C-alpha cells in the first residue's frame, strides 16, 4: 500500500490523482491533502478520504473547515493552513509519495521540503522546477529518490529514456499542440478574449496553464523543466508543434533511433505511471491505434509566440532569470484573466521583467522566493503602467499593492 499526499488536491491534477486512487483502493491510501481556497471541495475530499491531515491556504478557512469536520464527526482530521500547512502535508511521517500539483510558486516550499524529507515526489507543478529546479533536483540526488514527472511530455520522455542511457541521448523533442491560436494571425492577438484563450483544443486544465498553453509559455516552462529533470542543456531540448497531441514527446538517441510515447490524452495515465513506477499496472486507458490517421509536425513560430523564445533565453542565462520568467508570467496571466491587460501584452510584460532581472545563481529556496517577490513587484508595476496608458485609469483590479 502506497501512502499518498496530494498538494493541490482540489485542482485538475489533484482530482485526477484522487480518481486514480479510487480505481486502485488496494494500492493507494490518501493520507494527506493540501487545497487552496475551495473550501467546499476540501471538505468533501476530507469527508470522502478521511486523511490524517488537511491544509487550506487561509487561517480563517482552516477554522471553518475544522468546525465543519467536527460537526460531521471527523474531528480527528488535523486541519492546518498556509505555506507551513502545505509543508506539514508534504512531510507527514506516514506519507511515502507526494503529488506536487499546487499551481505556481505557492507550491515551491512544500515540494522542496517533501524532497528534503526523503519522499518520492511526482511533479506536476512545473513552475517550481522553473524557479528552483536546480535546488530541487540536487536535493533529490542527495536523497537518492527519483523525481517522477507527471507533466505528460516529461512523463513521455521519462518512459522513452528507459530505452537507453543518458549519455546516449542526442536530444529530446517536446511536442506542443500549438494551443488555440496556432492558426490565428498575429495581427489578431490584440483582440483575443479570455474566453477564447481558455478554450484549449486538447486538454482540460486549470486556468493558468491553459493561458500559458495559448501563449506557448507553457511549452517554454516545459523546456526549462526538461533541462532540470533530465540534466540537459537547452540546445538539446527541442519543441515540435504537433496539433493532434497524439505523441506526447520523443527521445532521439546518438545512433539516430527515435523513441516516441503515445497514449490517450488523459492525465490519469502519467499520474498512474508516476504512482506505480518502476512497475506498470493494468489500466483501461486504451488508445485506438487503428484509428490513427495523421501525425503532423512543424517547428514553432517564436516570432508569433515570443514567450517560447524568452523561455529559451532565460534557460540559457539560468539563475534568477527563470525565477523572473515565472513570476512575471504569473502576474501577467492573472492581469489578463482579470481583463486588465490584452493577450498580446503578456509577453511584453514578461520580457521587460526578465530583462530587468539579474542572472545570479540562487543558493537557497529563501533566495528564490526573494527574487520571485522582487520580479512580481516589478511585473505589477508594468501591469499598472500598461493598464493606465491604455485606459487612463490608475489602478488595475488584479494588482495587489
Ligand X SMILES: NC(=O)c1ccc[n+]([C@@H]2O[C@H](COP(=O)([O-])OP(=O)(O)OC[C@H]3O[C@@H](n4cnc5c(N)ncnc54)[C@H](OP(=O)(O)O)[C@@H]3O)[C@@H](O)[C@H]2O)c1
Q: How far is the CB of 46 from ligand X (least distance, A)?
A: 12
Q: How far is the CB of 22 from ligand X (least distance, A)?
A: 17
DSSP 113-160: HHHHTT-EEEE--HHHHHHHHHHHHHHHHHHT-PEEE-SHHHHHHHHH
Candidates 8-16, 275-283, 334-342, 377-385; binding stretch for ligand X (CB under 6 A): 8-16
The verdict on 35 binding ligand X (CB under 6 A) reads yes
Q: How far is the CB of 11 from ligand X (least distance, A)?
A: 2
Residue 97, strand partner residues: 4, 120
Edge-to-edge strands of the sheet including 97-100? 78-81, 53-56, 28-34, 2-7, 97-100, 120-123, 147-149
Q: What backbone phi and psi angles, to 5 degrees, belong to 175? A: -90, 150
281-340 residues near ligand X, rule: CB under 6 A? none
Length in residues, the chain: 401
Candidates 65-73, 141-149, 199-207, 302-310; binding stretch for ligand X (CB under 6 A): 199-207
List the end-to-end C-alpha distance of the chain, in Å, as a whole number: 47
Q: Considering only residues 4, 53, 57, 226, which one is a binding residue for ligand X as defined by CB under 6 A?
A: 57
Q: How far is the CB of 33 from ligand X (least distance, A)?
A: 9
Q: How far is the CB of 165 from ligand X (least distance, A)?
A: 27
The verdict on 65 binding ligand X (CB under 6 A) reads no
Candidates 36-44, 186-194, 229-237, 383-391; binding stretch for ligand X (CB under 6 A): 36-44
Pick 307 or 386: Cβ nearer ligand X: 307
Q: Per residue, what are the HEC states of 311-356?
A: HHHHHHHCCHHHHHHHHHHHHHHHHHHCCCCCHHHHHHHHHHHHHH
Q: What is the rounded radius of gyration, in angstroms, for the C-alpha atoms of the chain? A: 21
Q: CA 2 to CA 116: how far, in whole Å?
A: 19
Q: Considering only residues 151, 330, 351, 372, which one is a binding residue for ligand X as defined by CB under 6 A?
A: 151
Candidates 45-53, 123-131, 314-322, 338-346; binding stretch for ligand X (CB under 6 A): 123-131
Q: How far is the CB of 5 from ligand X (least distance, A)?
A: 13
The verdict on 267 binding ligand X (CB under 6 A) reads yes
Task: Read off the C-alpha cell for 30.
Answer: 490518501
3-state secondary structure of 199: coil
Q: Considering only residues 206, 238, 260, 348, which one is a binding residue for ligand X as defined by CB under 6 A?
A: 206
C-alpha 361 chain-centroid distance: 22
157-196 residues near ligand X, rule: CB under 6 A? none
Pick 308 or 386: Cβ nearer ligand X: 308
Pick 57 or 386: Cβ nearer ligand X: 57
Pick 156 or 169: Cβ nearer ligand X: 156
Q: CA 220 to CA 33: how far, in whole Å?
A: 29
77-116 residues near ligand X, rule: CB under 6 A? 86, 101-103, 106
Q: Considering only residues 127, 351, 372, 374, which one is a binding residue for ligand X as defined by CB under 6 A?
A: 127
Q: How far is the CB of 218 from ligand X (least distance, A)?
A: 7
Residue 17 in contact with residue 4, Cβ under 8 Å? yes
Q: What backbone phi and psi angles, to 5 degrees, belong to 211? A: -65, -40
Q: How far is the CB of 334 from ligand X (least distance, A)?
A: 12
Task: Read off the C-alpha cell for 143.
Answer: 536523497
Residue 172 in contact with residue 226, Cβ under 8 Å? yes
Binding site for ligand X (CB under 6 A): 8-14, 34-38, 57, 86, 101-103, 106, 124-127, 151, 203, 205-206, 209, 267
Amino acid at each position: 500500500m502506497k501512502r499518498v499526499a496530494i498538494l493541490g488536491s482540489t485542482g485538475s491534477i489533484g482530482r485526477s490523482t484522487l480518481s486514480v486512487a479510487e480505481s486502485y483502493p488496494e494500492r493507494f491510501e490518501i493520507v494527506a491533502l493540501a487545497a487552496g481556497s475551495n473550501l467546499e471541495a476540501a471538505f468533501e475530499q476530507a469527508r470522502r478520504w478521511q486523511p490524517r491531515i488537511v491544509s487550506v491556504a487561509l487561517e480563517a478557512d482552516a477554522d471553518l473547515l475544522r468546525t465543519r469536520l467536527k460537526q460531521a464527526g471527523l474531528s480527528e482530521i488535523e486541519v492546518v493552513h498556509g505555506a507551513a500547512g502545505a509543508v506539514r502535508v508534504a512531510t507527514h511521517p506516514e506519507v511515502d509519495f507526494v503529488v506536487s500539483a499546487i499551481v505556481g510558486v505557492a507550491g515551491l516550499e512544500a515540494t522542496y521540503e517533501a524532497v528534503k524529507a526523503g519522499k518520492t515526489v511526482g511533479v506536476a507543478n512545473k513552475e517550481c522546477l522553473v524557479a528552483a529546479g536546480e535546488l530541487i533536483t540536487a536535493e533529490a540526488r542527495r536523497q537518492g529518490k527519483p523525481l517522477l514527472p507527471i507533466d505528460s511530455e516529461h512523463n513521455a520522455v521519462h518512459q522513452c529514456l528507459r530505452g537507453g542511457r543518458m549519455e546516449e541521448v542526442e536530444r529530446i523533442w517536446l511536442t506542443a499542440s500549438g494551443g488555440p491560436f496556432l492558426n490565428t494571425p498575429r495581427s489578431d492577438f490584440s483582440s483575443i478574449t479570455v474566453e477564447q484563450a481558455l478554450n484549449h483544443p486538447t486538454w482540460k486544465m486549470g486556468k493558468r496553464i491553459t493561458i500559458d498553453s495559448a501563449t506557448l509559455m507553457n511549452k517554454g516552462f516545459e523546456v526549462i523543466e526538461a533541462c532540470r529533470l533530465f540534466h540537459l542543456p537547452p540546445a538539446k531540448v527541442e519543441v515540435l508543434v504537433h496539433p493532434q497531441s497524439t505523441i506526447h514527446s520523443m527521445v532521439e538517441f546518438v545512433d539516430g533511433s527515435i523513441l516516441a510515447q503515445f497514449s490517450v490524452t488523459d492525465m490519469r495515465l502519467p499520474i498512474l505511471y508516476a504512482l506505480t513506477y518502476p512497475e506498470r499496472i493494468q489500466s483501461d486507458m486504451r488508445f485506438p491505434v487503428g484509428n490513427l490517421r495523421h501525425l503532423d509536425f512543424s517547428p514553432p513560430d517564436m516570432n508569433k509566440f515570443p514567450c517560447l523564445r524568452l523561455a529559451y533565453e532565460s534557460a540559457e542565462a539560468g539563475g534568477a532569470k527563470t525565477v523572473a520568467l515565472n513570476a512575471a508570467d504569473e502576474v501577467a496571466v492573472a492581469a489578463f484573466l482579470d481583463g486588465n491587460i490584452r493577450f498580446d501584452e503578456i509577453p511584453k510584460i514578461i520580457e521587460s521583467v526578465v530583462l530587468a532581472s539579474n542572472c545570479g545563481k540562487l543558493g537557497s529556496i529563501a533566495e528564490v522566493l526573494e527574487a520571485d517577490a522582487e520580479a512580481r513587484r516589478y511585473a505589477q508595476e508594468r501591469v499598472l503602467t500598461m493598464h493606465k496608458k491604455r485606459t487612463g485609469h490608475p489602478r488595475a483590479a488584479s494588482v495587489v499593492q
